[in-house]
Every structure is written in C-alpha cells, then in structure tokens.
C-alpha cells in the first residue's frame, strides 16, 4: 500500500489540505487498484461507500437519459476526486463513471472522508469549493448545450479532450474516444458528429488519422467554440 504523503496527485485535489497524521491514516484505510478501459467504476443509482481518487488515466462521467442515450458530462483525470457529492448528500450516485483508458485509482471509505470533513476545516472547505467548481462547470455545460450549435459544441468537446489528456509528440490528442463517445460529449447523433469532424478536417482546423485526432489550428477551434 503506497504512502499517500508522497503521492503525486495529492496536491491536485482537496486532499492537499490533510495533515501529516491524516495522510498516514489515509494510507492505511485507502484501497488502491487498477481499472481496465471500458470498466464501470460505479453506476447511476449505486450506493456510494466512498470516494475515488484518480491517480492515473481518464474516465467519463455519464448519464443516461430516458430514451437510453448517453450524455458524457465530463472527463475526469489525474488528481480529480469522484463521488464526493453522493457521500455528502448521503444519496445514491446520480451519474455513472466509466474508464476510457486503463486507470489507477484509490478508494477512500465514506466514513474516513466524513471524518476528515468533520475534523479538518480546511479540508472541508476545499471539498466544498470543489463541489462549487463542479457546479459552475455544470452550469456552463448546460448553457452551451442550450444555445450553441452542434459544431460549436464539437469544437468545445475537442478542447475539453485536449485539456484533460494533452497531446503526444506528434501533436495528436492523447485520448482516443470513439465517434460515438465524442457525439455523447457533444450531445448529438453519431452521424452528425462524424460529418462535422470531416468538415473541420476539410477546413484544416483538425487532422484525422483513424481514431487519432490532431488539433492543427487551435485558435480557430477556440473561436469556433467561442
């Protein structure tokens, strides 16, 4: 079991507010494990017994609508915490989390998290701030999906992937999502997504090599997303 004190991603989340003693305790109670691409971390409706800390890899936060279509609300990466909301409201998970890459995550039991929240004001405040930021993100997402066109939203989705995964040495996005998944981020039909990707390629804004996507004209993509 790794020492949380030395964990690279701790500084990226609310966990940075924990004391040395708390970190030692955390190292003992946490559970570290691997998740394979495509695996479900938890499902909408699941009872959440703790919080997940993402050490490596990316997952998607997904919600299924009444007609069975997925929407990807957000990509979650290194340093993010998952499941805080459910722990705090004592409710079931309102979203599903599915790995889109192989992942390395730590699980922190609910009672330990609540303990930290109750005993460490600074940690408690960080958690609350994090939820506030998630709220701001969700609000912006909602606004974008209300008044932007599919093309504008696609541009934004590509920027989101860039933001959470970065690029390889050749400049290709470091995360390969299926057309279907990109469509679920954008909130459109797969075919529309495919067509618009082809259009962006024709405009020279992006390049497509099979499933790999390279952003060529970042500024144009940004201005497209507005």
164 contact, one of a copy of itself, DNA, none, CB 5-8 Å limit per kind: none
Residues in 72-91 at the binding interface with a copy of itself, rule: CB under 8 A: 73, 85, 88-89
Nearer to DNA, 57 or 187 (CB): 187
> Distance (Å, rounded) from C-alpha 80 to C-alpha 156?
20
Q: What is the dihedral of CA 100, 140, 48, 42, to 10 degrees?
A: -20
Residue 208, CA distances (Å) to 125, 175, 176 in order: 43, 13, 11
The pattern of x and - marking residues 185 through 214 that bind DNA according to CB under 7 A reads --xxxxxx-xx-xx---------x-xx---
Burial of 161 (0-12, 13-18, 19+ CB in 10 A): buried
> Distance (Å, rounded) from C-alpha 136 to C-alpha 59?
20
Q: If binding is defined by CB under 8 A, does position 141 make contact with a copy of itself?
A: yes
- What end-to-end distance do the CA atoms of the chain give, in Å? 45
Q: If binding is defined by CB under 8 A, does position 69 make contact with a copy of itself?
A: yes
Of 110, 79, 220, 113, the C-alpha closest to 158 is 220
190 contact, one of DNA, a copy of itself, none, CB 5-8 Å limit per kind: DNA
Q: How far is the CB of 30 from DNA (least distance, A)?
A: 32
Q: Do residues 40 and 66 lie in contact, with contact meaning Cβ atoms separated by under 8 Å?
A: no
Q: Look at the block and give the residue holding tokens 């600074």.
A: 122
Q: If binding is defined by CB under 7 A, does position 178 make contact with DNA?
A: yes
Q: How far is the CB of 170 from a copy of itself (least distance, A)?
A: 32
66 contact, one of DNA, a copy of itself, none, CB 5-8 Å limit per kind: a copy of itself
> Distance (Å, rounded) from C-alpha 158 to C-alpha 220?
12
Q: How far is the CB of 152 from a copy of itself (least distance, A)?
A: 9
Binding site for a copy of itself (CB under 8 A): 63, 65-67, 69, 71, 73, 85, 88-89, 94-95, 117-118, 121, 124-125, 127-129, 131-136, 138-139, 141-143, 145-148, 187, 226
């Amino acid at each position: 079991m790794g020492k949380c004190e030395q964990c690279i991603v701790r500084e990226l989340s609310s966990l940075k507010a924990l004391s040395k003693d708390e970190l030692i305790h955390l190292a003992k109670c946490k559970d570290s494990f691997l998740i394979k691409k495509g695996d479900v971390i938890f499902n909408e409706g699941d009872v959440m017994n703790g919080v997940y800390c993402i050490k490596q890899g990316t997952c998607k936060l997904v919600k299924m609508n009444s007609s069975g279509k997925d929407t990807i609300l957000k990509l979650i990466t290194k340093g993010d915490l998952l499941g805080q909301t459910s722990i705090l409201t004592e409710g079931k998970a309102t979203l599903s989390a599915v790995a889109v890459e192989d992942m390395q995550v730590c699980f922190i039991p609910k009672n330990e998290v609540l303990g930290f929240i109750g005993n460490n004001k600074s940690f408690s405040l960080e958690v609350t701030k994090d939820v506030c930021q998630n709220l701001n993100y969700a609000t912006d997402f909602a606004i974008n999906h209300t008044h932007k066109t599919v093309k504008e939203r696609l541009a934004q989705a590509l920027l989101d992937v860039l933001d959470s995964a970065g690029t390889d040495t050749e400049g290709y996005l470091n995360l390969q999502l299926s057309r279907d998944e990109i469509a679920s981020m954008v909130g459109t039909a797969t075919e529309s997504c495919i067509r618009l990707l082809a259009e962006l390629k024709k405009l020279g804004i992006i390049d497509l090599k099979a499933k790999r996507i390279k952003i060529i004209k970042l500024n144009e993509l940004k201005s497209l997303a507005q």
